[in-house]
Structure 1
């Protein structure tokens, strides 16, 4: 099964309980018997200053280069294939830590980049962005390396870092999104996460959000360019891929666990979306990644 790690699993003096850590890549320690790929219970922002890192996030490959912010959110499957002369910083934090200085969860949802709901999983920093973010990062480093570190100060500095990042991304976005739609979509995304194996009807999600089915579909299309039905199917497909590669369950059981009543239909739909049958996908991905 896929291992899920918490911040406290990564030994560091530059951390606050199981809530926050800021470490240089070259000093980052991994847990004993560390397993790739893995899931995390926390957010991570990677900022490389030199070298390159090839990452597989939920089967999407991203090469992180110097002065690029790379965002990973809780629950994503992460495999780092290759690291070449990597230096830089890893900022990890939980939602609970963010809430220290925010009024509610909706305020967190306004950070469009934190869970890549429509934005890219990375952001290339130009000279202006580096000039804006570097002083805040240095202040966080100064505070987190103190013997008596203040969670409140670190949380405030993290909030400044995230808000500046948000502003830079919006300024760079040629078609910025309505923040209200982003907040609504993230609420919808949480509902999908807890119900995608048993609920595929738009009306279910619309009722939970006190919106019409038309409005929910409209929000989905504006944020992701996809209808709600396709967003749900994407989530089911991702879980199918995860279970095929990282569990020993028979394909028939995976089909049942994902709410399919007909194995042939599951197999046809999987091949339609990936070009491979579930068995072919399991073999191909195992050969490619399990032995990385």
Structure 2
């Protein structure tokens, strides 16, 4: 009898908290059948033992969590989302997320897949632009209409079967089911969508830009020039939509990226400073302590002791 990937991680207890999340030691990776698959779909109950607080982290895969009973709270960037019965939350690939506490999930599904799974025989980047919840700036949470719950559950059951009951996952089948799932989700996303203001459009584009370029670009005027608006107008739009200025968004994004690197890599503080666009390690450390209240070294030590 073959050992299911979900069973392998139950024996993974030897290393410290932070070490478990470095590189291929991340227990999530043990759910992939192979490095080329980068896909799994399971009922949440099968991996409940993995539920614990997680500092700012990110993954190269998209993650979909569908709660059928109970609730789950997580932060995407600095925004907290609580997902309850018959709601889906999508964590886009590359989005920094964190779990400050663990909620009571009675049942549901978790599905994780690499973006490349979607760009195969039946997909295209133009098609994927249809799905706002796959974008960093998109709305990640969807409340399902009662009449759509059955269809979405059936698709996730088929994805789970393809993952759990076949020796080799057929990614063409997985891709087809995922695209069907996304269109079902889109119906519900459209139902709750509101008209988008010009400020929201600019803010969404700004979020995408800082996600892509925060490691090298820290100035509001750089982003405003890309968006063909003045720095003052950009600040006004972002503050109106999010409650925070563009400057604050940039600083918080740098801090989140640094936290992720302190937790999920073995880079030195000096190397991390360079990674997030600081030539001076001392200046980076002062910046980090000003926003977080402790030094980068202290932050990493506290995680190691978790």
TM score, norm. by length of structure 1: 0.67
Deviation larger for 106-115 or 152-161: 106-115
Structure 1 residues 152 and 262: alpha-carbon distance in aligned structure 2, compared to 1, 3 A threshold: closer
2:89 is aligned to 70
Q: Which moved more, 1:260-269 or 1:95-104?
A: 260-269
Call closer, same or farther: CA 1:103–1:248 in 2, change over 3 Å. closer
Aligned length: 277
Give the conservation status (yes or no) of the 8 Å contact 2:73–2:102. yes
Inter-partner Cα distance in structure 2 for 1:67 and 1:265: 43
Aligned to 2:137: 117
The whole-number CA distance in structure 2 between the counterparts of 1:238 and 1:114 is 20
Change (3 A) 1:168 1:54: closer
Q: What CA RMSD, in Å, does the superposition of the two structures yield over aligned residues? A: 4.8
Separation (CA, whole Å) in 1 of partners of 2:230 and 2:240: 14
Query: Match of 1:92?
Result: 112
Task: Give 1:201 deviation, angstroms.
Answer: 4.6
Q: Which runs of 5+ in 1 are unaligned?
A: none
Aligned counterpart for 2:293 among listed residues 272, 277, 285: 277
Greater relative contact order (CA < 8 Å, ≥ 6 in sequence): 2
Deviations 1:207-250 (A, max 9, x none): 8x7x64569959x8599657765543332132244456778989
Q: 1:125 to 1:96 in 2, by over 3 A?
A: same
TM-score by length of 2: 0.65
Aligned to 2:124: 103
Match of 2:253 among 219, 235, 254: 235
What is the distance in 2 between the residues matched to 1:170 and 1:223? Answer: 23
The equivalent residue for 1:199 is 217
Stretches of structure 2 lacking an aligned partner (at least 5 in a row):
1-17
- Give secondary structure in 2 for the equivalent of 1:159: helix
SS in 2 for 1:235: helix
Counterpart in the other structure of 1:171: 191
Pick which of 136-145 and 42-51 moved more. Answer: 136-145
Q: Is the 8 A contact 2:67 2:87 kept in 1?
A: yes
CA 162–291 in structure 1, closer or farther in 2 if over 3 Å, else same: farther
Distance of 2:79 and 2:162 partners within structure 1: 35
Partner of 1:47: 66
Provide the C-alpha distance between the structure 1 equivalents of 2:119 and 2:271, rounded to a whole number of angstroms: 39
* Partner deviation per Cα, 1:38-68 (whole Å, 9 max, x = no partner): 5322111111222333435446544432322
Paired residue for 1:130? 149
